[in-house]
Structure formats: C-alpha cells, structure tokens
Amino acid sequence: MTKFVITIDGPGGCGKSTVARLLADRLGFTYVDTGAMYRAVTLQVMRANISFEDEERIVQIAKRTPITFKKQDNSVRVFIDSEDITEPIRTPELTSNVKHIAKITRVREVLVNKQKDMAQDGGVVMEGRDIGTVVAPNARFKFFLEADFKERVSRRYKELKTDNPSIDIKDVEKELAERDKSDYLRKTGPLKLAEDALKIDTTHMTIEEVVDYIEDYVMEKYSDKKNLWSA
C-alpha cells in the first residue's frame, strides 16, 4: 500500500505550520516542520559560538545534529538527542539568524537528504519553502500558501505578542521583510511555486477554512477514506 506525500510551501506568516499540523492530524499523517530543522542547526551554531561565515564547521554541525520530532497532545515537539528544543528555536534572535544558515548550499544538501528520508515512506505532510520543488518533487499533492504582506505581519505580531507584550509591530514587519527577501532570493532552494502546486491565498481565510479546503481537495480525489492509502 502506498502512502503519499503532501507538501505545503509558502512564506513566513502565511499559516502553513498550523495548517500542516492540523491536516496531518486529520489524515493520520506525520507532520514534518522543515523550518525547525534549519532552526535546530542555527541553535547549535549559536551555542558553539561559530561564525556564520565558517561554512565547513556549520556543515559538520548540520551532519551530526540528530533532529527528531515527537507528537505530544496537540503539538509536535522538536528534539536534538533527548533535549527538547521546541522553545529555544523560536527566539527572535535565532529567527533572524536562520537566514545565514539556510543560504549555505551544503547545509541545505544535508538537510534536504534527511527530509527526503523522512518522506520516502509517505504518509507525511511536509512543510517549508522548497518541499514541492526540491525535497519531494514527485509528491502526490502540492500546496503553496500565500497571504498579503500586511496580513502576514499582523498574524506574526499576534503570535509573538503573547510571549512579548511590548513587541513593536514595526520590528515584526522589518523581520518578515528580511526573511521574505532571503527566502525568495536564495540561490539554492529559494521559495518558489512548484509548477504543479495549487496556490491558495489565505488572506481572508481562517486556519480552519484552509485546512477544510485542502482536506476536501485531497478527499475529492479519494472519495472513500478507507482507500486513502491504496490510491
């Protein structure tokens, strides 16, 4: 029986992590957050106080950092060995540093290979920037989520404000603009719409509506849920 792969790509703040996680839950698939893998390598580089220019050592770190995901209640936790790094990889400082790591071609090769391994048995909803184009070009379903820049800033702002009530929306705007720039212009694995991906503008949609839309689209092709795996 073949389990298939669903890819969800898109820029920061378009809601793809939550959508991918909820979709995976509904379908009984595994959710893979590839951004967390770039973040995990960034964390290790920062901890070791290595310069972002020192590609050789960064590639070694990417190779030997064992990143795993574990489902816990309604969330998916990220681990390096037995250490839960779910929170440390979300700090604003780390978030603004990931771009230095994500642009290193050899780091991308290492992480893309790990992601290919994770996707090879199917039954996976994998989310990131280059999943439909590079990691899983043969995926059965590819989605590309978008939202207006202003709406993405507002979503990020609301998300970050919970932990940091004094956060300035102007800083969020600047950070997201910088991330967009590095995501779209990166030489290797830039963010781009795969030819066969379905683009969804989520500006005026709730998370629930996006998940429903994708689930309906997938299920339409597989009208009998019991046969989901054998198609």
Written as six digits, the tokens of 149 are 């820049």
Among 179, 197, 202, 211, binds ligand DC (CB under 6 A): 179
Among 25, 26, 35, 173, binds ligand DC (CB under 6 A): 35
| 34 vs 44, beta carbon nearer ligand DC | 34
Instruction: Give the number of other CB atoms < 10 A from CB of residue 106.
Output: 14
- 175 counts as binding ligand DC under rule CB under 6 A: no
User: DSSP characters for 12-79?
Assistant: TTSSHHHHHHHHHHHHTPEEEEHHHHHHHHHHHHHHTT--TT-HHHHHHHHHH--EEEEEETTEEEEE
- 129 counts as binding ligand DC under rule CB under 6 A: yes
The minimum distance between CB 13 and ligand DC, in angstroms, equals 8
Burial class (CB in 10 A: 0-12, 13-18, 19+), 56: exposed
- 156 counts as binding ligand DC under rule CB under 6 A: no
Among 23, 27, 130, 146, binds ligand DC (CB under 6 A): 130
Among 7, 34, 44, 202, binds ligand DC (CB under 6 A): 34
Residues in the chain, how many?
231
- Which positions lie near ligand DC, rule CB under 6 A? 12, 34-35, 38-39, 98-99, 102, 128-130, 179, 183, 189
